[in-house]
Each structure stands twice: as structure tokens, then as C-alpha cells.
Amino acid sequence: MARTHALINVTIWQDDDFRNLPALAKQLYLDMWTHPALSYCGVVDWRPGRFAAQHPDLSTDDIQVLANCLEARLFIVTDDESEEVLIRSWVRWDGLLKQPRLAASYANAFAAVTSKDIRGVLVHELVKMHEADSAMVGFAKPQVAQMLKMTEIDPHARSLPKDPFPLVFPHGFGQGLGETLPKVSVPPTTATATTPSLPAVPADSKADDEDEVTSRRKPEIALPASWAPTAKHYELATERHVDIAEQVQFFRNHADTNDRRCRSWDAAFRTWLTKSTPKPTTTPRTGSSIWDRKPPVRSAS
């Protein structure tokens, strides 16, 4: 069952870490929290362009900067390869494990997560909740109890992006901070008042440790006409009993129809195959395997 409302505990405003977030970072966090596609374990598709489309004054790059801030401060966990993002404390605040039926939904949502990092962090958070209150009824569910035995990943131990907003703003955005505040660019406008755009991450040409995470990110592009599945895709399709020729056509139609942009189309198709519904392994007439069809295989790049 899809969510019809979002439960936000008003005590979030008593949390100093949340209060010290820049205003637009708070907005992105709440955008994720109230997203209609957020799963029962606090995971939603991570496509910065989709979040930017919700705000006429923000670009995809702006969303990425804000996400770097949230991830650096451990509010979220992103995975560009699987295109998923986790709100780290969502399950703890939503109270799912206090309700048996929703605890089962939580376990099912966890099973659908493809990111190794996000799965590990979810297990880590679940272990913390179990240590704090092992009597919660949700832990009686076999699926949830099994998760406690899985490999956990401490979010503090992950490689995190640099915080583009390392300063705390005690008197409002930029007041009294002088030259230490990241420069603000003002877009041209005919209006009498101008609204500053999102501060850019300050560059330091002499620094050896520039923001490697941002510099390594590939640009989002449309699906190239020359794209074709790799040998690893065929292996995955065989394991999952998926007709890869059919899924390639569905995948292309979906990308074209939704004008989708992506950094890694190979990773996106891997996720697509993981979520595809398996088909019967034999055809009615001959009984031969549908996996015998061998379309041309592109070598892995």
C-alpha cells in the first residue's frame, strides 16, 4: 500500500543538527521525507534533476550541493550507481516497528533496496533500535529479526563528501560572517529586488584536497542511441530469468518517454533488471529456453 501521508515529529525543531542546516538543505530533506514514492524503509529514487524540477529557482547542480551537505552531516545516504537515497533516521521517527503489519512492510521494502551501502546502513540503524528497545513488536517478525544478522555499515565510516556549508549561521544566513561566507551570485533580472542563487562551493586552486566527490561526478545525459547491454547484464538477466531483449526495449521506451537523464546507463539498466519481473523459462511450443537467444554483446567499458 502506498503512503497517503507523512509523519513528521515536531521535535525535529529541537534538534540542533537540523536547526543548523542551511534553509535550502532543510527544504530538500523535507522534500525527501514527504515524497510520495518514499518506501517503508525510508528509501526513494535518487535523481537530482527530479528534485530540481520541483523548484523553479534551483538547478540540478544546486540539488547536488544541498545533498552533499545533508550526506556530509549524516542526514542521508546516497548511491549514484543504484540511484537510491536513504533518509537515515526515517524508520526510527516514523514508528514502523511499533506496528506488526508495517514492520513486515519495512522488511519487504528493505528487500527491494539494491544499494549495498544503503542496506548496510539500514541494518546498522536497526541494530541501534534493537539495542535501545528490543521489546518493540516489530522485532518479533522473522523477516525483521533476520535483518539483525546481516552485515551492517556504520555511516560514520563511509567516504563522505565535503560539507559545502561548513559554517553555522547563528544570526541568519550569512549575517556577520564577512568574507568567510561562500560567494553568492545574483542572476540578472528586471525586477527591483533580486534573490541570490544557491552559494557555490568555494574553490581553492592551491588546495590538494578539493571536493573530489563533486569533481568525479559524471554529467547526466540522455540514453545514447549506441548504448547496448554488457556481458554482465546478460549474466544478471540469466540469473533472474528475465528476457533481456524485451527489457532493453522497455528500458529504452521508458527513458525516451520520461526524457530521463543519467550518469551511468549501465548501472541504471542493472537496477532495471534487478526490479524486472521474471518470465517463464520455457516456451509453450518447443520447450526450448528463451535464454538461448543471444543478441550481440557489448564489451564492458
Report pLDDT digits (tens) over 227-260: 888 988 888 888 888 888 888 888 888 888 878 8
> pLDDT: is 132 or 166 the higher one?
132
Mean pLDDT of the 283-300 span:
51
Which residues, in sequence order, are bridge partners of residue 44?
A: 85
| Range 121-145 average pLDDT | 87
Most confident segment among 5-9, 80-84, 210-214:
80-84
Residue 264 has pLDDT above 50, yes or no: yes
CB 40 within 8 A of CB 108: yes
pLDDT score of 249: 87
Q: Is the pLDDT confidence value at 141 over 80? A: yes
What is the DSSP-derived secondary structure letter of residue 246?
H
Can you give the pLDDT at residue 138? 82
At residue 190, does pLDDT exceed 50?
no
Bigger pLDDT: 232 or 153? Answer: 153
Tell whether the model's pLDDT for residue 150 goes beyond 80: yes
Give the range with max mean pLDDT: 83-87, 95-99, 185-189, 268-272. 83-87
The confidence band for 102, taking pLDDT boundaries of 50, 70 and 90, is confident
Please, are residues 78 and 71 in contact by the beta-carbon 8 Å criterion? yes
Question: Which of 36-45, 134-143, 156-165, 212-221 shows the lowest per-residue confidence on average (mean pLDDT)?
Answer: 212-221
Q: Report the pLDDT value the prediction gives residue 180, as an integer from 0 to 100.
A: 39
